[in-house]
Amino acid sequence: MWLSSSAPSRPSLEGGTPRNVVLVIGCTVRADQLTPWGAPEDVTPFLASRAAQGVRFDDTIAQAPWTRPAVTAIVTGRHALELGMVEPGDGLNEHRLPDDVATLAGLLRGAGRRTLGLSANPNASAKYGFDNGFDRYVGDVQDWRHEAVAKVPGAVVVDQALDLVDGLGPKEPFYLQLVLTDAHLPDDTSAAEVLRFSREGLPQRVARYRARLRRVDDAVARLIVGLEARGHDGRDTLFVFIGDHGEGLGYPVGHGPVHGRYLYPSSVHVPWLMWGGGVAKSVTVSGLARQLDLLPTVARYVGAPVPPEARGADLSPALRGQPVAGADEAIVDTWFREANRAAIYTSTRFCQANFGAESPVLVSPTGLPLPRFEEGCFDRQADPEARRPFRDEQLFERLRRWRKETQSRAPALTPNPPMSEEEEEALRALGYMDP
C-alpha cells in the first residue's frame, strides 16, 4: 500500500533549483513489466502515479545487463569497459571504480549537498568503489545480509535511508541514492502474493516476478512518503527512478531465464522516471535514451557541472516540458563470466554479436538451461520477441568500431585476488555465479 501525505514546504536553493536529489535504482526491473509501460495496474501503481506527475523516458536502454557495469554507467555517465568495470573470463576481474572518476554523488557533493548512499546489492558495494563521492555509504557485504534472508528487503533499506536523512541538519541539502533488490532472485514471495498476480496463460515465474516488482513499488512509496513526512517533497526535491537491468524470465522464450549474458530488450529495456523539483507533469519522452544520459541530465537540471569525459546527453530540457532529440544509438556491453558480447540499439532495431568464443550451454540458477546466443539483427517493432534475425552490416560495423575503440582506452584487465567465501556466497545467492 502507498499513502499520500502533506508536509510544510522548505526553501529551495538559489534560482529555484531543487535542494535535494533522490535516486532509486531498481535492480532487475524490466520496463515492460511495470504499469507505466503496459503491465496491469496493480503491479506498480505508485510508480504509475509518479509517471503521471512527471517525465517518463519510454525507451531507455541499459548499458549492461547486470548490476556492476550498469550502475557504473548510471553514476558516471561512462561505459564500464573504459573504466575496467567488467568481468572477463570466469570472475577474474574484481576491479574497483577508480577513485579519480567523477560520479554523480561527487558532483552533487561539490555543489553543496551531503551525499548518502545505500545498496542492497553486493555488486554495487563499497568494495567495488561505489562509495565514491559519498559522505556516508551503506552497502558492504556485511550490511547486505539481514538475519537469515538472502537479500535485504526494500523496506529495511528505506528505513535505513530515512535514518540517515534524519541525521542531517534541518536545512541541509542532500543527495540520496538507493539500490533496491526486491525484484532480484532468489524468489521469496508467498503463495498469496503470487496468486494476486496470476493470470490465465501467464507463466508462474512471471507472476512471481510481478509480485517482487510490487515489493519494489511499495518500497519506493515508503521512501517517498517518509521523505514527504519530513518536509522533503516535490517542491524542493527531485526524484529519479531507473532500472539497472531487466530479467529474461524465459518470457519470451529464448531470452534466457535470468540476466547477465543476454542483450534482448527483456534484459536491457529499463524504466526511467523523474518527478518533483519543478519537473513538468505527464510528459513522455519517446526517443531512445540511455543510462549514460542520467548523470548529465540530473547534473544540468540542478546546476552541477558535467565532466567532459561523460558520454551521455543532457535531456534536462524534457524536464521543463521542452522537446529533446533521442540518441541515435545505445550500446550494450557485457563481459559476464564466459560471455563476451555487445549490442547496438536504435529506435527501430538492434544488432548483437559475440566478441569471444561461443558460450557453452550452462544451467542457470533457476535450473533452466541457458539458450544459445543468437547473433544477428532484429526489428524492434515488427519482431518484438526477436525471433527473426537478419544482417545489417552498417550497424554491425558501428558496433565493432565502438568495441575496438573503447577497449583500446580500457585499463588492463588483470586478475585480482579471489573473492572471500562470504562474498562468493552473497553473489551466488543473487544468481551471479553458476551453481
Question: pLDDT per residue over 336-349, tens digit each?
Answer: 877 899 999 999 99
Going by C-alpha positions, the residue among 292, 274, 291 that lies closest to residue 283 is 274
CA atoms within 13 A on the CB side of 401: 6
Where does the pLDDT of residue 10 fall: very low under 50, low under 70, confident under 90, or very high at 90 and above?
Answer: very low
pLDDT at 73 over 90: yes
What single-letter DSSP state applies at residue 225? H
Mean model confidence pLDDT for the chain: 88
Going by C-alpha positions, the residue among 429, 5, 60, 44 that lies closest to residue 219 is 44
Q: Which three cell numbers stand for residue 110?
A: 561539490
pLDDT at 269 over 80: yes
pLDDT digits (tens, 9 = 90+) for 95-134: 889 999 999 999 999 999 999 999 999 899 998 999 999 9
pLDDT digits (tens, 9 = 90+) for 217-266: 999 999 999 999 999 999 999 999 999 999 999 999 888 888 888 999 99
Residue 81 has a pLDDT of: 95
Q: Look at 38-42, 173-177, 232-236, 353-357 and tell me which has the smallest mean pLDDT.
A: 353-357
Q: Name residues whose C-beta falls within 8 Å of residue 414's C-beta, 6 or more positions apart in sequence.
A: 93
Going by C-alpha positions, the residue among 197, 345, 193, 256 that lies closest to residue 28 is 256
pTM: 0.91
- Ordered by start, the domain boundaries in the chain are 17-330
pLDDT at 140 over 80: no
CATH superfamily of 17-330: Alkaline Phosphatase, subunit A (3.40.720.10)
pLDDT at 416 over 80: no
Q: Name residues whose C-beta falls within 8 Å of residue 281's C-beta, 6 or more positions apart in sequence.
A: 52, 53, 54, 275
Q: Name residues whose C-beta falls within 8 Å of residue 421's C-beta, 6 or more positions apart in sequence.
A: none
Say whether the peptide bond before residue 252 is cis (omega within 30 degrees of 0). yes
Residue 61 has a pLDDT of: 98
Angle, helices 67-76 vs 294-302, to 10°: value is 30
pLDDT at 25 over 80: yes
∠ Cα 250 252 253 (to 5°)? 60
What single-letter DSSP state applies at residue 37? G
Residue 385 has a pLDDT of: 94
pLDDT at 286 over 70: yes
